[in-house]
Amino acid sequence: MKVKTSAPGKLMLFGEHAVVYGYPSIVTAVSSRLYVEIDKIKSGFKIESPQVKDVRFVEETIRVFKEKYPFNFGLSIKTKSDFSSQYGFGSSSAVTVALLYGLSKLINFNLSKKDLFDLGYQINLNVQGVGSGFDIAAATFGKVLYFLRGGKVVEELKTESIPLVIAYSGIKADTPKIVKALREKVITNKSFYFSIFNQIGKIVEKARIFLEEKNWTKIGKLMIENHRLLKQLGVSTDKIDRLCQKAIEAGAFGAKLSGAGGGDCVIAVVKEEKKDNVKKALIEAGGKIIEVSTNALGVNEVKS
């Protein structure tokens, strides 16, 4: 009996880093997905996961699931992805969630989305030690989410596909490393960093309203503001700043880094007529355009 599932990648829209310290964030699931095919075998585990950069997520998912819901057969697991693990779209979280969901289907156990999130978040922390869990939430629930650390609040926003242009900076960010490095700095100057996190938190609250109003001009302004604060946290790079600047000069309402910083993707909110212009400017500045849409569905079973 084969089970096939898929979970979406994600992009952080607002609130990265501050979310780790208890402030809210907004994340969207994207249309690029990660697929998992699970087959029962007699014994042992066969894992074919070429596009997942860290197979520990697959191994830990099996271990945690089996501990909670024991089963007495082996597994053959194959994964396939629409997106490169370089982009920072959350391939580790997507594989964790898609695999958990698939395993629950394989043993005919109905796991609620909340249980799926909690298990996924635990696995995420077991493997990388840090993280708010926003990526696990995007893979699980999909859509555009207002999110608080550990899933304390997960609320779907009533918006539509956000008119984004996305460019990969060409550099793969090491998220746990950047999060841990910032934590060291926060310890030495709490008041400075928390005042920034606080300002980011306020931006997120405004963004939530403007996203529901589909006010892209104001969303763009907030992105510029959020990016300025991320620069103050020291997580941006010259290349990322240049990509954001060029997108704005070419007509974007606003742009910012998305994720931990240090690399990964830049997102720009752009009206339809200006999209080609902005894409061209981003390519000229050394970015690679990634065509995905936002507000995608969460984990599901792929019926063949």
Binders of ligand MEV in range 151-210 (CB under 6 A)? 175, 179
Q: Is residue 16 helix, strand or coil?
A: coil
Q: Which of 8, 13, 14, 17 binds ligand MEV (CB under 6 A)?
A: 17
User: Is the four-CA dihedral 101, 107, 109, 115 of positive or negative sign?
Assistant: negative
Instruction: Decide if 172 contacts 263 (C-beta within 8 A).
Output: yes
Burial of 112 by CB count in 10 Å (0-12 exposed, 13-18 middle, 19+ buried)? Answer: exposed
Residue whose structure tokens are 């060291």: 184
**Is 132 one of the binding residues for ligand MEV (CB under 6 A)?**
yes
How many whole angstroms separate alpha carbon 277 and alpha carbon 252?
9
Select 46 or 180, whichever has its Cβ closest to ligand MEV.
180
Q: Facing residues of 168 across strands? A: 265, 288
Instruction: Return the range that interacts with ligand MEV (CB under 6 A); candidates 15-23, 42-50, 97-105, 221-229.
Output: 15-23
Cβ 182 to ligand MEV shortest distance, Å: 8
Select 134 or 168, whichever has its Cβ closest to ligand MEV.
134
Site string for ligand MEV, 77-116 (x = CB under 6 A): ----------------------------------------
The pair of three-digit structure tokens given for residue 293, joined into one six-digit string: 């849409």
Site string for ligand MEV, 250-289 (x = CB under 6 A): ---------xx-----------------------------
Q: Is residue 281 helix, strand or coil?
A: helix
Cβ 75 to ligand MEV shortest distance, Å: 28
Instruction: Decide if 266 contacts 243 (C-beta within 8 A).
Output: yes
**Where on the chain is the footprint of ligand MEV (CB under 6 A)?**
12, 16-17, 19-20, 131-132, 134, 175, 179, 259-260
